[in-house]
Structure formats: C-alpha cells, structure tokens
Amino acid sequence: MRAEITIDGADGAGAIYITWAPLHSTISLVEASGGADPVDVVLRNQNPSSEGGQIVFRNVMPGAEQDTLQLRLPTDGTPIDFFIAGKFGHPSVEDKDAVIEVVEANTGAVLSTMSLMVRIRKNADALTTGERDRFLSAFAILNNQGTGRFRDFRDMHRDDTSLEAHGRAGFLPWHRAYLLDLERELQLIDPSVTLPYWKFDEPAPNLFTRAFIGDPNRLGRVRFVPGNPLEFWATDGVVAGIERSPFFDTDTSPAFVISEEATLLLGGPQNLYAEFRDMEGDPHGFAHTSFGGSISQIDTAAKDPLFFLLHVNVDRLWAKWQWLNRRFDTADPATYPFLGSAGGPGATRVGHNLLDTMWPWNQVTGSGSPNDRPNTAPGGNFPTSPSGNAPDLTPTVGDMIDYQGVFDVGNRLGFDYDDFSPIL
Ligand SMILES: [Cu+2]
C-alpha cells in the first residue's frame, strides 16, 4: 500500500516550488489491500528540526495551519483534498530540502515521501554561499557576457522607455512585473533561484564583496574574485565591466535613504497608495544616487546587476506596506487609485491606469495618443510559470497588485519574501 500526493503547480519535471501561499493538493491510497476500512494517515515534515524548508498543512481553505495533518483515506483510491504551504520563517536553503512524509497512523509505517522547495526571496546579505553562488551563476548564464536573453531586460529600462515605468502610479507594478519576468527566466536556468534583495537602509557587508556583487577599485571599476560568475559581466556589446562608486561605506553604513519604518509610514494616516508611492523618490531614487556610475541613471542602471537587488527591495517595501495595511483589493482606491484605462475619465498616462496592459509584455509599439508606447518592445509576452497561475501573457497594472491571491486565488504570481507573509 502506498499513498500518492498530487500538488497543484508541479513543473514539467514534476518538481514543486511553493511559497507561503497554500496550494491545493490531493492524497489517495494505491495498491491498498481489499479491506473496506479506510486508513488513517498522518502528514508531517520528515525533518521538523532541520535548517531547511518546512511545510504546514490545512484541511480546508481558509483554515488553521497545522504542522501535522491526520486524514482518513478510502481504500478504493478516492482522493482526499488538503492544502500545503511553506511554514513562515522556515524557507528552504536548497532545492528539495522540504520533505513531506506520509505515515500510517496505526502502524507508524511510512507510506510515501515527497521532496519540494519552499522558494522565497531573501535578504542578499544573509544568503548561504550556496544560495549566493546559484543566483550569480544563473544571472551570468542569462547574460552570457552581453549576448544572452538578459539583453532584453537591459533594453526594457532606458530613457526612451522610462515613461512606461517611472514618475506615476505604475512605477511599482511595472517594476514588479519586470523583476518577476527576470526571476522566471533565471528559474528556467536553475529552478532553485530567487531574486535576493538589497535592504538598503542597513549595512550589507556580505553583499558588497568581490565574492558577491563586486567592490570597486579606486577608479570605480567593479572587481570580482576570480571565479565569480559575474567576473566577465558585459552589456551593450562592451566588455567594460561595471562602473559603480558608492558614496557611503558599504561595510558599515546604509545608503542615503529613509529607514524601512519611515518608508512604511509614507502612505499617511489613511495608508493611501497615492501617498505611499512617494517612495519612488526616497528611498528608491536616493538608493540609486547613493552611487556614482551606471546605477545612478535610468538609461544605464540595468547594466549593473546590483540594480535588480535594489529594486527587489523596493518591491518588498511595497509588498510589506500592502501586507501591513491589507492593500490587495484592486476595487479599493486606497490600494491603487486609478480605476480606468488610458483615455477614459480620470485616467493618467497609458501604462499607469489599473486596467491598462503594460509595455513591453503587451508588445504594443509606436505613437498614437492616448496610447503612446516606445518604438520597440523587447522580450515578448510575459512568461508563464508552473509556480504561479498568473499573470497572463499581457498583464495589466492591476494584475500585479494581489500578488499572492489574497483576494483572488487565480492571481497567484508565485513569489514571497522572507520577513512577512500576506497569507498570515
Ligand atoms: Cu530604480
């Protein structure tokens, strides 16, 4: 007799990557010996005290999470529903380090095991060397010294595309999509990778090293230890490396930004998105201009890998503000203020209204007010991922808001952060 578990969201190879969001699952008995009595089983973590990923279970949604779950399984193989999620505070540190064990309640016999990964975006300064090196390797492969698919991401973020992404309400949703697109590309190379964040209001001495994101020489040319996958980083067809000169002591100081606590209060007494998005200036803009070099200018920022870690933190701050204030309901103007689409009453520039599709994933180019877009649309439609059920190929601004499906379980984008969970 065995127990077979099926979890929604398995990839083509059958591997499963979960976050803090509960996923529907089923379990059924196979090869049960003829008796009509159902079999009681217990689902649990195989290594409940390990450093790696841990799982929690629920009978129903919504429902209380449990470290173990007892279920009664019919011997005719009828599947029983349950839900699994990563246990908050216990993300994986490597692929498949979270192991579910199914044991028969009466005998203690192990009927089956299943390995998965609780895949969570983490603070770059606190990664294990394994996590760091897998991220750097995947990123370097995606760039392939300036000739790889990363070129599209570099080209999406330039002066002539800036109006799509900056200066209005869509700043945060556009960059959320941009990062998620990049992360999904990295996960095609190594599914155990997530984008780490640079928590720019704290010192990050483990990030600004030659073994990680590099450290400049006196001319502002970033240097790496031999063997760092970023060692031969090149963009725009030029093997000039990375120019980046911090104006702060990266070993002991944060960037010139307001604190996370102050950022999370930017929404004012009513916690309005329209006010919170002032964070595009400080801390976001000030994090960029805490350096000289390419990261300080919109047109060249994406040439520096650090830019992406900076923006993951910007996204984390928005997500954390959403979590603190329950700002996931797109029908609530405090969550996002523009209800219409470009050209409609009360609408702002195309690409920043709730119902507008976002460039470049909509593949729309060229002028034509009110729908002016850049002349090129690098990279194609938005990539799908087995680990999320959204967005579709041409995401709207609104599709980026309820990123874990708090209001709409069909809008699970498939990422989470290590320091809070919107599901809690
Ligand atoms: Cu930025």
Q: Distance from the CA of 324 to the center of ligand 1, in angstroms?
A: 23
Q: Is the pLDDT of residue 276 over 70?
A: yes
Residue 227: count other Cβ atoms within 10 Å of its Cβ. Answer: 8
Q: Distance from the CA of 396 to the center of ligand 1, in angstroms?
A: 20
Mean pLDDT of 225-246: 92
What distance lies between CA 267 and its chain's CA centroid? 23
Q: Distance from the CA of 310 to the center of ligand 1, in angstroms?
A: 7
**Pairwise CA distance, residues 421 & 36, whole Å:** 42
Per-residue model confidence (pLDDT) at position 34 = 65
**Under 8 Å between Cβ of 19 and 404:** yes
Q: 293 vs 40, 219, 241, CA distance in Å?
A: 63, 11, 11
- The 10s digit of each residue's pLDDT in 29-48 is 998 876 678 999 999 999 99
What is 304-365 written as a DSSP string? Answer: STHHHHHHHHHHHHHHHHHHHHT---TTSTTT-S--S-TTSTT--STTSSTTPBPTTTT---
- Look over the chain and give the mean of its residue pLDDT values, rounded to a whole number: 95
8-state DSSP, 253:
-
State whether residue 281 is helix, strand or coil: helix
> What is the 3 state secondary structure string of 167-179?
CCCCHHHHHHHHH
Of 317, 357, 366, 302, nearest to 143 (Cα)? 302
Q: Distance from the CA of 237 to the center of ligand 1, in angstroms?
A: 23
Q: Distance from the CA of 1 to the center of ligand 1, in angstroms?
A: 55
**Under 8 Å between Cβ of 367 and 396:** no
23: its two tokens: 């996923």
- The 10s digit of each residue's pLDDT in 317-355 is 999 999 999 999 999 999 999 768 888 888 999 999 999
5: its two tokens: 């578990």
Which residues fall within 8 angstroms of residue 201, CB to CB, at 6 or more apart? Answer: 254, 255, 257, 258, 259, 260, 263, 283
Q: Distance from the CA of 176 to the center of ligand 1, in angstroms?
A: 11
- pTM for the structure as a whole: 0.97
Q: Distance from the CA of 55 to the center of ligand 1, in angstroms?
A: 34
Q: Distance from the CA of 387 to the center of ligand 1, in angstroms?
A: 26
Q: Which amino acid is at 163?
A: L
Lowest model confidence (mean pLDDT) among 5-14, 114-123, 358-367:
5-14
Q: Distance from the CA of 415 to the center of ligand 1, in angstroms?
A: 20
